[in-house]
Structure 1
Amino acid sequence: MFWIVLSLTLDQITKHLATLYLRFGEIKNLFGFFHFTYATNRGIAFGLFPGVKEAVIYLTLLIIVITSLVPLLFKVSKLTEMFIGFIVGGALGNLVDRIRYGYVVDFLTFDYWPTIINVADIFIFIGSIGIMIQMLIAESKAKKQIEK
């Protein structure tokens, strides 16, 4: 629960600051390859499928519920709980935007990344990669056990 609240709070605070201090489309160079650029996203990842707001809201709610149940139904490590918390908190952050504004607030750009993102997206990415790495490690350990 701590990780959900942390990621949701950081996401919403940073989005609020972006809306206060950036104008739509404005680019502020932070350093080298990293910039602040205020934008809105009415679709899903990379702005795909704009105009399906209700479907995205219901799908997001379903994913949040299912993902949140994993630590309750299965014994998972503290690290896995953290990664799941990041995913759920990030999904909630973007969901709050969709319900409140009808779009998601994005404001982070990198020179070699094709789209504008936000803190929720970063938490979802870190959580997803973390869980994938844990799954690969677990699979490798299971294979080694079978080979013995």
Structure 2
Amino acid sequence: MKIPRIAWAAYGFALVVVILDQITKAWILGSADVSDPALIPGGYRFAEVIPGILSFTMVRNTGVSFGLFGGGEARWALSGFSILVAGTLAWWALKAERRMLVAAIGLVIGGAIGNVIDRIRFGYVVDFVDFSQTGLFPWVFNVADSAITVGVALLILDSVMAEKKPAVGEAHEKA
């Protein structure tokens, strides 16, 4: 089976997200100067990047994006589900024809895989981007969560834009 070039673009987006996600997590965990990430206390502030707005804070997320469904009991179920989603999206990329759709698929795949790596490796997802001091956004997140969020938003936007365009046959029928 030949993989279309546009599908390779989705896989490329996914790879970039996974690499950026894992590099930023390694960087933040490495900045704590401990031999084991388990020794970093939850809520530990690595740095206050923009006072009162942005901090890097250690959060062990046992749930899904932005801490939803936390508790840790579902570690393997969430990992399996994320792998299933990534696999389904990878298959969808083989059929995709629109650039925005391909970008969206790649972002979600990369985010899902980035967080699965943490879940398998640590038993939780490392979240650290913290805007909670603003009072507007209480969640702490990471690069993978951001990619998933942007990817889902692009999926919705692509769906809306695709509905507005007439199908190839419809344009000729109305003329």
TM-score by length of 1: 0.88
Counterpart secondary structure, 1:43: coil
Residues 65 and 141 in structure 2, CA contact (< 8 A), matched pair in contact too: no
1:78 aligns with 2:99: yes
Q: CA RMSD in A?
A: 1.9
| Per-residue deviation, 1:128 | 0.9
1:40 and 1:18 map into 2 onto residues whose CA distance is: 13
Once the two structures are superposed, the pairs formed by residues 1-148 of structure 1 within 5 Å of their partners are 1-22=11-32, 23-24=40-41, 25-27=43-45, 28-32=47-51, 33-47=53-67, 48-50=69-71, 51-72=73-94, 74-110=95-131, 111=134, 112-142=136-166
Q: Which runs of 4+ in 1 moved over 4 A?
A: none
Q: Which amino acid aligns with 1:37?
A: T
| Per-residue deviation, 1:49 | 3.8
1:75 and 1:54 map into 2 onto residues whose CA distance is: 30
1:75 and 1:26 map into 2 onto residues whose CA distance is: 42
Deviations 1:14-68 (A, max 9, x none): 0011111145322322114221111111122333242111111111111111111
- % identical equivalent positions: 31
1:52 and 1:46 map into 2 onto residues whose CA distance is: 15
2:89 and 2:26 map into 1 onto residues whose CA distance is: 26
1:8 and 1:41 map into 2 onto residues whose CA distance is: 17
2:139 and 2:17 map into 1 onto residues whose CA distance is: 21
Q: Which amino acid aligns with 1:136?
A: V
Of residues 32-41 and 97-106 in structure 1, the stretch that sits farther from structure 2 once superposed is 32-41
Residues 61 and 70 in structure 2, CA contact (< 8 A), matched pair in contact too: no
| Per-residue deviation, 1:3 | 0.7
1:7 and 1:138 map into 2 onto residues whose CA distance is: 25
1:139 and 1:115 map into 2 onto residues whose CA distance is: 33
Unaligned runs of 5+ in 2: 1-10, 33-39
